[in-house]
Amino acid sequence: METKSVVKVGSRKSQLALIQTNTIINQLKKLNPNLSFEVISMQTTGDKVLDAALSKIGEKNLFTRELELALEKKEVDFVVHSLKDLPTALPEGLLIGCIYKRDSPYDAVVMHPSNAGKKLEDLPEGSVIGTSSLRRAAQLARKFPHFKFENIRGNLNTRFRKLDEDNKYSAIILAEAGLHRMGWPDRISQVLDKDTCMYAVSQGAMAVECRNSDPFTLSLLSQIHHPETVIQCVAERAFLKKLEGGCSVPVSAFSEVKDGKLSLTGGVFSIDGKQGRIEYACDSLPESIEEKEKPTVSPNGPREFAGIVGSEKVSIATLEVAQRVGLQVAELLLNTEAKEILANAKAETAAAVIAEKQKKDAEKMKKEAEKPQANGIS
Ligand code: DPM
């Protein structure tokens, strides 16, 4: 096996991405003091298109494509992601070598300074809540039909500025994990429980992507693969994969590993939140979740579950149970009206993508027409 003394790590340039990358590097450094790590940061398409809602851009791997190309070209050895931003199908040859212990998976409310100390329940009719997540808007519209939900985009720093300075939003909704990582826990007014807003698949978990043909990096990463998180995320991602969902549809999840059992609740909602369906499945995990025999690795790399590999700490048999639970919840949903709700939501976002593109094209043409003619005779 090829060994390395310097490991090259790709990262997006945003503050949150760099914080996450450094968290993983610091853990690996503690366990491997002889290794050094070099961070190579780059902008992704998602960082460049900050004006449109994520769901309206119509591409799946917005925040990952450039980084995955660097992995394929061996310019970097691994890339740290928020797992919820990683599509359930990864490019050929790449996989998730580890998932780090999950932070809070829940969503949190950040109030405009004039509403400090309040909860969503306290806000008046017509209050504007900023979120570009269809999932958050749909679920919150069920509980709070008297609010308006409007897009807010940009990285976390930009959103805070828009919230505090624009006086448009009464509150915004963000992942609690991101707020903690950025050092802003004191801005959290309320954490939303599962009965108010179930979280996104894999929210709060950081994943590390690498090449399936790189045993050195795979074995390095397996040191920080967190069994309970892996079990939950395999179930959640298998669920989302079966529904063929992404950030373009309101799909949400809630999972637990308790008393040797794994349970998963999954929800599908219409864009306006008026329709929704929730299903649940539970199964026993193997008595020991550890891998007892060294897995045989095929020439195509290790076996994966929705892109995630096993390790000595979490066996293939365990991940098979997790995958089954995920598929079961998806199948239960697809046998109900959820199938149609999902199809309609997908069609609605697809239409919004086309409308957004037409708007952009029209703006571009208008700008072109207004440009002074370079070779015009005046
Ligand atoms: C995805 C969504 C959002 C991010 C959609 C969703 C939120 C978009 C928005 C798939 N990715 O959650 O329904 O509110 O406009 C993202 C964040 C984090 C990872 C920030 C956030 C940090 C937390 C984590 C953006 N991706 O959700 O507030 O590691 O899970």
The pLDDT tens digits for 97-144 are: 999 999 999 999 999 999 999 999 999 999 999 999 999 999 999 999
CA-proximal residue: ligand 1, atom 22 (nearest)? 178
Q: How many CA atoms lie within 13 A of 27 on its CB side?
A: 19
Residue 211 above 80 pLDDT?
yes
54 CA distance to ligand 1 middle (Å): 10
CA-proximal residue: ligand 1, atom 3 (nearest)? 133
Strand boundaries in the chain, DSSP class E: 6-12, 36-42, 78-82, 94-99, 107-111, 128-130, 148-150, 171-175, 188-191, 206-211, 251-258, 261-269, 276-284, 304-305, 308-309
Question: What phi, psi does 375 have (nearest 5°)?
Answer: -110, 25
Among 77, 85, 107, 214, which one carries the catalytic annotation?
Answer: 85
Annotated catalytic residue 85: yes
Per-residue pLDDT, averaged over 277-298, amounts to 87
Q: How far is CA 138 from CA 50, 134, 217, 270, in A?
A: 22, 6, 40, 7
Residue 57 above 60 pLDDT?
no
Residue 355 above 90 pLDDT?
no
Out of 201-215, 261-275, 326-340, 350-364, least confident range: 350-364
What was the pLDDT predicted at 50? Answer: 57
Tell whether ligand 1 has an atom less than 6 A from the beta carbon of residue 135: yes
Tell whether ligand 1 has an atom less than 6 A from the beta carbon of residue 14: no
Residue 377 above 50 pLDDT?
no
| Band (4; pLDDT cuts 50, 70, 90) | confident
CA-proximal residue: ligand 1, atom 25 (nearest)? 85
Question: Which of 15, 19, 80, 203, when mutated, tests ligand 1's pocket best, judged by the most ligand atoms within 8 Å of its CB?
Answer: 203
- One-character DSSP codes across 275-314: SEEEEEEEEEPPSS-S--SPPPPBTTBS-EETTEE-BTTB
The pLDDT tens digits for 47-56 are: 766 555 555 5
